[in-house]
Amino acid sequence: MAVNVSISLNPGLYIKDPQQSELGKRIIKHSILLIDEIGFEQFNFKKLAEEMKSTEASIYRYFENKHLLLTYLVSWYWEWLNYMIQIKTFNVEDPKKKLEIIIHTFVLISEENPAIDYVNESSLHNLVIAESTKVYHTKGVDEENNKGFFLNYKEMVSSVAEVILEIKPNFPYPHALASNLFEMTNTHFYFADHLPRLTDIDNKAGQKEEVEKMLLFFISKLLD
């Protein structure tokens, strides 16, 4: 399935829209790969410039700093996830079936969807798993929230919460369950790989299916 929409993100996240130029697209492409490879703490614009054969100053014309670049990339993921959920559940009537599709998408999004040529979806998902909580765990969170930087996340949670309420209209914690299902997906991929005693998911082939099964088990207990 080819996705030919250009992902629409909050303009406050960048100085100059990286999707509108070749250099901008190369910044997106190489920053995803480099952050996935060396980690966000070790990542900086000088290394990125070397990697993509450009200059530090050129990258600063697109993004104010590396924190906003990370926020941009993670917002991209949230928006892309949200978009995939919408199109995959569009014609589905049964809300239980919808939630199953949502969970399947949380877990397997990067494998199923070859989307935009300058974005390596698998690396982007790894980046989200390893680094995304740093986006909103800062002292500037309230200010950035006021600027709408986390709207893509909130919209995704809001649409999942709606489905939960379709299944069980009096469920008292639809938003908390929605955000928790999403966070759990990523957390337990990470734990399985690095801190296996904090989970019951094996670090083996079939890991994704195991996580999916666990999430389905949780919602069946909570919503049946």
Partner DNA sequence: TGATTATAATAGTGTTGCTATCTTTTATGT
Partner DNA sequence: ACATAAAAGATAGCAACACTATTATAATCA
Q: Which amino acid is at 95?
A: P
Residues 19-78 that bind DNA (CB under 7 A): 21-24, 42, 44-46, 53-58, 60-61, 64-66
DSSP string covering 58-114:
HHHTT-SSHHHHHHHHHHHHHHHHHHHHHHHHTT---HHHHHHHHHHHHHHHHHH--
- Number of residues binding to DNA, judged by CB under 7 A: 20
Residues near 132 by beta carbon (within 8 Å), at least 6 away in sequence? 74, 77, 186
Q: Which does 13 bind (CB under 5 to 8 A by kind): DNA, a copy of itself, none?
A: none
Place of tokens 């600063």: 60
Determine the 3-state secondary structure of 179 from DSSP: helix
The binding site for a copy of itself (CB under 8 A) comprises 38-39, 41-42, 130-131, 133-134, 136-139, 141-142, 145, 150, 153-154, 157-158, 172-176, 179-180, 183-184, 187-188, 190-191, 194-195, 197-201, 214, 217-218, 221-222
Secondary structure, 3-state, 107-135: HHHHHHCCCCCCCCHHHHHHHHHHHCHHH
The footprint of DNA on residues 1-30 (CB under 7 A) is 16, 21-24
Residue 34 binds which entry of DNA, a copy of itself, none, with Cβ cut-offs from 5 to 8 Å by kind? none
118 binds, among a copy of itself, DNA, none (CB under 5 to 8 A by kind): none
Binding residues for DNA, rule: CB under 7 A, are: 16, 21-24, 42, 44-46, 53-58, 60-61, 64-66
